[in-house]
Protein backbone atom coordinates (compact mmCIF):
# COMPACT_ATOMS: atom_id res chain seq x y z
CA UNK A 1 0.00 0.00 0.00
CA UNK A 2 1.33 3.42 -0.97
CA UNK A 3 1.11 5.87 1.95
CA UNK A 4 0.81 9.65 1.72
CA UNK A 5 4.14 11.44 2.24
CA UNK A 6 4.15 14.29 4.77
CA UNK A 7 5.77 17.40 3.26
CA UNK A 8 7.35 20.58 4.62
CA UNK A 9 6.19 22.72 6.42
CA UNK A 10 4.01 20.06 8.12
CA UNK A 11 4.78 20.24 11.89
CA UNK A 12 4.85 16.45 12.20
CA UNK A 13 8.27 16.45 10.54
CA UNK A 14 9.61 18.19 13.66
CA UNK A 15 8.50 15.39 15.98
CA UNK A 16 11.05 13.13 17.67
CA UNK A 17 10.37 9.48 16.84
CA UNK A 18 10.05 6.81 19.55
CA UNK A 19 12.00 3.53 19.73
CA UNK A 20 10.44 0.45 18.15
CA UNK A 21 9.63 -2.16 20.80
CA UNK A 22 7.49 -4.67 18.91
CA UNK A 23 9.02 -6.46 15.94
CA UNK A 24 5.75 -8.03 14.87
CA UNK A 25 3.70 -8.54 11.70
CA UNK A 26 2.33 -5.00 12.04
CA UNK A 27 5.87 -3.60 11.83
CA UNK A 28 6.65 -5.82 8.84
CA UNK A 29 3.58 -4.67 6.93
CA UNK A 30 4.44 -1.08 7.73
CA UNK A 31 8.04 -1.52 6.47
CA UNK A 32 6.70 -3.12 3.27
CA UNK A 33 4.39 -0.13 2.80
CA UNK A 34 7.29 2.26 3.38
CA UNK A 35 9.25 0.48 0.66
CA UNK A 36 6.34 0.63 -1.79
CA UNK A 37 5.87 4.33 -1.03
CA UNK A 38 9.58 5.14 -1.46
CA UNK A 39 9.82 3.34 -4.81
CA UNK A 40 6.59 4.90 -6.11
CA UNK A 41 7.97 8.34 -5.18
CA UNK A 42 11.41 7.76 -6.79
CA UNK A 43 13.18 7.92 -3.43
CA UNK A 44 16.34 6.25 -2.16
CA UNK A 45 15.59 6.74 1.53
CA UNK A 46 12.57 7.20 3.77
CA UNK A 47 12.01 7.58 7.51
CA UNK A 48 8.78 6.41 9.17
CA UNK A 49 7.85 9.95 10.28
CA UNK A 50 7.67 10.93 6.59
CA UNK A 51 4.61 8.71 6.33
CA UNK A 52 3.26 10.04 9.63
CA UNK A 53 4.47 7.27 11.98
CA UNK A 54 6.81 8.61 14.70
CA UNK A 55 8.85 5.43 15.19
CA UNK A 56 12.61 4.95 14.89
CA UNK A 57 12.57 3.09 11.59
CA UNK A 58 14.07 4.04 8.24
CA UNK A 59 14.80 2.39 4.93
CA UNK A 60 17.53 3.02 2.37
CA UNK A 61 17.77 1.55 -1.13
CA UNK A 62 20.58 3.11 -3.14
CA UNK A 63 20.85 2.70 -6.90
CA UNK A 64 23.77 0.74 -8.36
CA UNK A 65 26.00 1.90 -11.26
CA UNK A 66 23.28 0.99 -13.76
CA UNK A 67 20.71 3.03 -11.88
CA UNK A 68 18.87 -0.06 -10.67
CA UNK A 69 17.55 -0.35 -7.15
CA UNK A 70 17.34 -4.08 -6.43
CA UNK A 71 15.22 -4.93 -3.37
CA UNK A 72 17.93 -7.36 -2.22
CA UNK A 73 19.98 -4.25 -1.45
CA UNK A 74 17.24 -2.74 0.73
CA UNK A 75 18.39 -1.75 4.21
CA UNK A 76 15.76 -1.68 6.95
CA UNK A 77 17.24 0.12 9.93
CA UNK A 78 15.44 0.12 13.28
CA UNK A 79 16.55 1.96 16.44
CA UNK A 80 19.85 3.11 14.92
CA UNK A 81 22.76 4.37 17.01
CA UNK A 82 25.78 6.04 15.42
CA UNK A 83 28.86 4.74 17.24
CA UNK A 84 31.64 6.55 15.42
CA UNK A 85 32.04 9.20 12.78
CA UNK A 86 34.98 10.43 10.76
CA UNK A 87 35.78 13.13 8.24
CA UNK A 88 33.51 15.54 6.45
CA UNK A 89 31.97 15.70 2.99
CA UNK A 90 29.42 17.70 0.99
CA UNK A 91 26.60 16.30 -1.10
CA UNK A 92 23.65 17.87 -2.88
CA UNK A 93 20.73 16.43 -0.90
CA UNK A 94 17.04 16.24 -1.57
CA UNK A 95 14.14 14.84 0.45
CA UNK A 96 10.76 13.36 -0.40
CA UNK A 97 9.31 15.69 2.24
CA UNK A 98 10.86 18.76 0.57
CA UNK A 99 10.00 17.96 -3.06
CA UNK A 100 11.75 19.85 -5.84
CA UNK A 101 14.54 21.40 -3.74
CA UNK A 102 18.17 20.26 -3.62
CA UNK A 103 21.11 21.85 -1.87
CA UNK A 104 24.64 21.01 -0.70
CA UNK A 105 24.84 19.85 2.90
CA UNK A 106 27.87 18.92 5.03
CA UNK A 107 27.94 15.45 6.60
CA UNK A 108 30.40 13.06 8.22
CA UNK A 109 32.27 11.12 5.58
CA UNK A 110 32.15 7.74 7.29
CA UNK A 111 30.33 6.29 10.25
CA UNK A 112 29.77 3.12 12.16
CA UNK A 113 26.17 2.28 12.91
CA UNK A 114 24.48 -0.13 15.24
CA UNK A 115 20.85 -0.99 14.51
CA UNK A 116 18.20 -3.69 14.63
CA UNK A 117 16.60 -5.45 11.67
CA UNK A 118 12.86 -6.10 11.25
CA UNK A 119 13.10 -9.10 13.57
CA UNK A 120 14.82 -7.17 16.34
CA UNK A 121 18.14 -8.95 15.79
CA UNK A 122 21.04 -7.10 17.33
CA UNK A 123 24.34 -8.35 18.71
CA UNK A 124 27.17 -7.08 20.80
CA UNK A 125 29.51 -5.05 18.68
CA UNK A 126 32.49 -6.84 17.25
CA UNK A 127 34.46 -6.13 14.13
CA UNK A 128 32.71 -7.73 11.20
CA UNK A 129 29.44 -8.12 13.04
CA UNK A 130 26.67 -8.18 10.45
CA UNK A 131 24.49 -5.82 12.46
CA UNK A 132 27.14 -3.12 12.45
CA UNK A 133 27.62 -1.14 9.27
CA UNK A 134 30.71 0.79 8.40
CA UNK A 135 29.34 3.18 5.85
CA UNK A 136 30.97 5.65 3.53
CA UNK A 137 29.98 7.52 0.39
CA UNK A 138 26.31 7.94 -0.33
CA UNK A 139 25.26 5.32 2.22
CA UNK A 140 26.86 7.30 5.03
CA UNK A 141 25.10 10.46 3.85
CA UNK A 142 21.75 8.71 3.48
CA UNK A 143 22.01 7.23 7.00
CA UNK A 144 22.72 10.66 8.52
CA UNK A 145 19.90 12.29 6.53
CA UNK A 146 17.39 9.64 7.65
CA UNK A 147 18.52 9.59 11.29
CA UNK A 148 18.01 13.36 11.35
CA UNK A 149 14.33 12.69 10.50
CA UNK A 150 14.07 10.54 13.65
CA UNK A 151 15.14 13.62 15.64
CA UNK A 152 12.70 15.87 13.82
CA UNK A 153 15.39 17.53 11.72
CA UNK A 154 15.34 18.32 8.00
CA UNK A 155 18.37 18.91 5.75
CA UNK A 156 17.21 22.46 5.05
CA UNK A 157 17.88 23.30 8.72
CA UNK A 158 21.58 22.75 8.03
CA UNK A 159 21.71 25.51 5.42
CA UNK A 160 23.28 28.89 6.13
CA UNK A 161 20.90 31.79 6.86
CA UNK A 162 21.11 33.16 3.31
CA UNK A 163 20.64 29.76 1.68
CA UNK A 164 17.72 29.04 3.95
CA UNK A 165 16.09 32.29 2.82
CA UNK A 166 16.74 31.31 -0.79
CA UNK A 167 15.08 27.96 -0.03
CA UNK A 168 11.93 29.51 1.51
CA UNK A 169 11.53 31.69 -1.57
CA UNK A 170 12.14 28.89 -4.08
CA UNK A 171 9.95 26.43 -2.20
CA UNK A 172 6.99 28.80 -2.24
CA UNK A 173 7.44 29.09 -5.99
CA UNK A 174 7.58 25.30 -6.38
CA UNK A 175 4.43 24.92 -4.23
CA UNK A 176 2.57 27.46 -6.36
CA UNK A 177 3.48 25.68 -9.58
CA UNK A 178 1.96 22.49 -8.18
CA UNK A 179 -1.46 24.02 -7.53
| Short-list 28, 11, 27, CA closest to 19 | 27
29/26 Cα distance (integer angstroms): 5
Residues 39-78 that bind ligand QAP (CB under 6 A): 41-45
Binding positions for Co ion, rule: CB under 5 A: 95
| Short-list 140, 149, 154, CA closest to 107 | 140
Q: Which of 5, 13, 20, 142 binds ligand QAP (CB under 6 A)?
A: 142
Nearest distance in Å: CB 163, ligand QAP = 16
Nearest distance in Å: CB 146, ligand QAP = 7
CA dihedral defined by 131, 120, 1, 38, rounded to 10 degrees?
-30
Using Cβ positions, the residue closest to ligand QAP within the complex turns out to be 43
Site for ligand QAP contains 143 (CB under 6 A): no
CB nearer to Co ion: pick between 8 and 23: 8
CB nearer to ligand QAP: pick between 114 and 149: 149
Size of the site for ligand QAP (CB under 6 A): 16
CB nearer to Co ion: pick between 89 and 132: 89
Q: Is residue 15 flagged as an active site residue? A: no
Query: Beta partners for 114?
Result: 81, 132
CB atoms within 10 A of CB 4: 9
CB nearer to ligand QAP: pick between 138 and 159: 138
DSSP state letter for 165: H
Cis peptide before 2 (omega within 30 of 0): no
- C-alpha torsion sign, points 135, 108, 67, 147: positive
Which helix (H) or strand (E) segment holds residue 170: the answer is: helix 161-178
Interface mask toward ligand QAP for 84-113; x: CB under 6 A: -------x-xxxx--xx-------------
Question: Looking at the annotation, which residues are catalytic?
Answer: 146
Amino acid sequence: MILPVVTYPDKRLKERSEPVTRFDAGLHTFLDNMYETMIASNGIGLAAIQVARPIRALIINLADEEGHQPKEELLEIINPVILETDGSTFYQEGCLSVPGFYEDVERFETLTLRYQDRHGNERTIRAGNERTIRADGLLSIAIQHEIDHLEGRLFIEKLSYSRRKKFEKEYKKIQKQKK
